[in-house]
Amino acid sequence: MNTTLRDAFNQRRGRAPSGNLELYAWFFMRVSGVVLLGLAVFHLLYMHLAIQVDNIDFALVSERWRDPFWKTFDFFLLLFALSHGMTGLRLVIDDYVHNPRWLAFAKGAAFVAYVFFLGIGAYIILTFIPPVPGANP
C-alpha cells in the first residue's frame, strides 16, 4: 500500500483527502514564520533599543506613521502575525474538535474573528491621519 503522508493523516482522522489546502497551509506556516521572525525581531530591536520603551507615546507613533514605510511595515507585521496565528488556530481546532457541526462553527468563528481583527487593524493603520506638528489637540 503506497499512501502519502497526507492520505495517512486523513485516514487516521476518518476523513477523505480534501485537496491541497493542508499542503498550502503547511507551506504558508513555514514561509510566514520566517517572514514574521524577521519583521518581529526588527520591530523589537528598533522600538526597544533605538527608540527606547520610555519614549514610546502617541506623538512618536503618529510621527512614525507620517512615513508610508512605517505604515506599510506595521500593516505587514499585523497581516503576517494574524494570518500565522489564525492558521495555527485552525490546525488546533482540527485536532480537538471532532463533531462536524462544532468544527464548522469553530472554524467559522475563527474566520470571523480573523476578518474583524484584520479589518479593524488595517483601518486604523491605513486611515490614520497624524496631527499637524505644533497644533493644539
| Cα distance from N-terminal residue to C-terminal residue, the chain | 72
* Residue 96: closest CA among 30, 33, 13: 13
Q: Are 78 and 84 in contact (CB under 8 A)?
A: no
The full length of the chain comes to 137
- Work out the average pLDDT over 28-34: 91
- In the structure, what pLDDT confidence band is assigned to residue 132 with cuts at 50, 70 and 90? confident
DSSP secondary structure letter of residue 66? T
The pLDDT assigned to 22 comes to: 81
- Work out the average pLDDT over 74-102: 93
Q: Which domains does the chain have, with CATH numbers?
A: 28-127 (1.20.1300)
Q: Is the pLDDT of residue 68 over 60?
A: yes
Report pLDDT digits (tens) over 2-22. Answer: 556 656 555 555 565 567 888
The pLDDT assigned to 92 comes to: 94
What percent of the chain has a predicted confidence (pLDDT) above 90? 55
Q: Is the pLDDT of residue 1 over 50?
A: no
Distance (Å, whole) CA 36 – CA 31: 8
Distance (Å, whole) CA 3 – CA 74: 43
